[in-house]
Every structure is written in C-alpha cells, then in structure tokens.
Amino acid sequence: MLIGSDKMIAIVGLGLTGLSYARYLEAKGIAFVVMDTRKQPPMLNQFEEEFADSAYLRAVHLGGLHQENLMAASEILLSPGFPMADSALQAAIDAGIKVHGDMSLFAEQCEGDIVAITGSNAKSTVTAWLAHMAEKAAIDFAVGGNIGTAVLSLLEQPKKSLYILELSSFQLEATPQLNAKVATILNVSADHQDRYEGMAAYHQAKQKVYRGAQNIVFNRHDPLTQALMAQGVSAISFGLNEPDLGQYGVRLRDGVEYLAKGLDLLLPAASLSLPGQHNVQNALAALALGEAAGLPLDAMLAALQDFSGLPHRCEFVATVAGVDFINDSKGTNTGASIAALEGLGPKQKLVLIAGGVGKGANFDELRTAVEKYCRALVCIGEDAAKIAAALEGSVADITFADDMPFAVKEAFRLAQVGDAVLLSPACASFDMFASFEARGQAFKDAVQEVSHD
C-alpha cells in the first residue's frame, strides 16, 4: 500500500498507465514526480493540461530517468512499457525502494474477486468471451487491464463482485503478488524476445500470475502453463483431446465433436459462434475459468453460441470472387499466427500476409503450418526478408509488398476460388502502422478496394 502523503512517489513512463498513476496519486493527495526516457511520450499533452495547476506534482523529467529523484522516492510506480531490468531501477531496488505497477496497487485495494488471464496468444478473446459469460449470468463485473479500462480507473467506478483482467508479461513483471481467485496462463510461445534475455525470463514473468491464486486453469498441451509452485491449489486443465474427469476437452460422439467436461458432453463444437480449432480451445479455457469463478453453466453455454468476437482476431472481412479475406492483425507473434493457420487451415487453403517488426522472433517456427496450410506468402514490413528466408521453399510463391493495398492485391492474385487471404503478420505493427488496429483497418480498407476493382 502506498505510504502517507508526506512521501513522494516516482512515476516511470507517461503513457496511459502513467497518466492513470498521476490521477490516482492526485486524488489521494500524494506528491509525485514523473519521468520518461522519451522526450515526447504519448500522453504528454493531456498530462500537461490536466496537471498544470497540480499541488502534488513536484517535477517532470523527459528524455531520461532522473536518478536522484528515483533514489529519493518512497516507491516507484512502473509503466508496463518500461523493463524492470533497467539498471536505474535495479539500483533503486537494491537500495530497498519498492518498485511495482498498477496491478499491484489494484490487487491491494480490490474488494471483488479477480480472474487474471495471461498468455502469449488468445488472452483478449478469452477475456472478452468470459466477460460475455458473466453478462449472460447477470453478474456484477468489470473488464480491464491490458484490454479496455486501466485497472486503477476501475477503482474509481462502483465496486464490482468480479473483475476479469487481461494481463501482459510486462504488467506481471511489476506485480509481486496478485492473489487472484482464478488465474491462467493460456499458452507460452516466443514473444517479446527483444525485451527478455530468453524464454526462461519471459516464462518467469508469466508465472507471476499464479502467485497467491486460489484456483489455477492451465493448458495441458503446454507444460509451460502449469504453475511451478501450486501445492494445495485447485487446478483445472483444458485441451483439445479427451479430458479426464473434472477437466475440459473434446469428445467425439457419433462423428460429432463436442466440448466436454470429463465424460459429460456440453455443446457441439459446430455451435460455437467463432470458427476454428483455436477457438474451440479458447471456449474450453473460458468454460474452465468461468466454472472456477462460480458462473452458472447454462449462461456460459449460451455465451459460447452468440459471442461476436473481437476485431482483428481472425475477423471475417468479406468474400470477393470466391476468396475469403480474414483479418488477424492481432497475430503479433509466431505463436498467434500458427494458431490462426492451424485453426483456419483445415477448411481451406490460405494465402498468408505476414511481416512487420519481429521482436527477435524465430520465423522458422512458422514453417510446418505454412507448408501444410498455405498456398502462397506475401511478405511486408521491416522483417519481410527474414520471413521469406526462413520460409523459403515452404510454398510455391513468396512475394513482397511495400504497402497493405499492394499486399492485398498480390494475395488476391495468388489465391484460388475457395481459398482465404489471411493477414496474420507474426510481427508487431509499428514499422508501418500506429497499432495493430490501424494495420487491421488498412487491410479491411484494401479489401474494399479489391472488391470494387
């Protein structure tokens, strides 16, 4: 808990989270300083407008961290984009100064139950699907974290009985103890290797979601999702194979695939509102989380059948001359793109548009799925050549495009009737676009252009 108002708090990072810190401290009457390594952080103008006359703002340092103010702080509130491994922060930690983040503050003060969802891929879809289940069950809930509302802003709203939170590894780095009612790591695949020294460090950050959890949900196909230390904690698994008693999985009955818990058949997989085997797994994860959170089964099953999904996650855009166009711009790492290929590929051949900023990814990981499901590949962005080199020989055609309109036209040219053009970049977007949302919108706009040609 933050110490008294005679102390000074250092806010590191002035993005959305940094702005929420400043608002929180101002409301509490606690003095603070703000610093960012960027000279023009994204929320600077809004911050200057809101805090021009603040009685509690002591200083703003841009273009670098102010070591003296860091070491003078009683606590440091860290924004997710700033790595805990920074030498200035480590010096503060060595001096006994607490460095933590917004999830840590939220967990200390939250009076409702927390469902904490992390993973390399699918966490937004599972979070939103679970929220739809809670809505169907008429539960008093809120959604936030890495999706939707910043968690400190949730504390300003009327209290809820259930908080469904999507958490990134960056947020978890600065969360010593979450104490969630239910916590899950949906999957772990290589991501953010430009920030972490290796997979072990990334995995360690994800594991923090389990600290203090009452119930754990894990993916039995992925050993890295299992809690390293969880003695005496309730655990439920999900997966695409036949489940043991009390676990979630898939069973075949008379040639029909069903979502199942143990021996009990719950719902035909074909009844799910979202297509693809990856969404069967997402639905199973949401069911396991919902059960652990106390949601009624009838509401959860109803929600599985009418959830409309999230934009930019295997989002159907249009069919043009017999070719489907699917926007998976949120596929920002190889694991996400593999899931999209494996989820959609069994139904139709794919022409994949991939590329952007790879974040140190190993694109060789895509080869098996591309060879199996893709007809052709169109490479874009900063790491286009790396992707093409890694996947050379995996498909008959590999081409390049300098912008999204040309990429879509090339993919359409290479596709055959019955195929799908899939944007699933396996990369971040910030070489060409402001965000993955902007990239997805550019894809949709380009599809509209093709449809009118």
Which of the residues are catalytic?
A: 123, 146, 192
| Alpha carbon distance 258, 254 (integer Å) | 10
Burial annotation 414-427 (CB, 10 A radius, 16+ → b, else e): bbeeebbbbbbbbb
Query: Burial of 26 by CB count in 10 Å (0-12 exposed, 13-18 middle, 19+ buried)?
Result: middle
The rounded distance, in Å, linking the Cα atoms of 91 and 298 is 52
What are the phi and psi torsion angles at 29 (to 5°)? 70, 35
Closest CA to 184 of 266, 239, 263: 239
- Tell me the chain's radius of gyration from C-alpha atoms: 23
Q: Count of CB atoms within 10 A of residue 132's CB?
A: 22
Question: Helix or strand or coil: residue 132?
Answer: helix
Dihedral in degrees, nearest 10, Cα atoms 99, 104, 105, 107: -160
- C-alpha 332/C-alpha 322 separation (Å) is 27
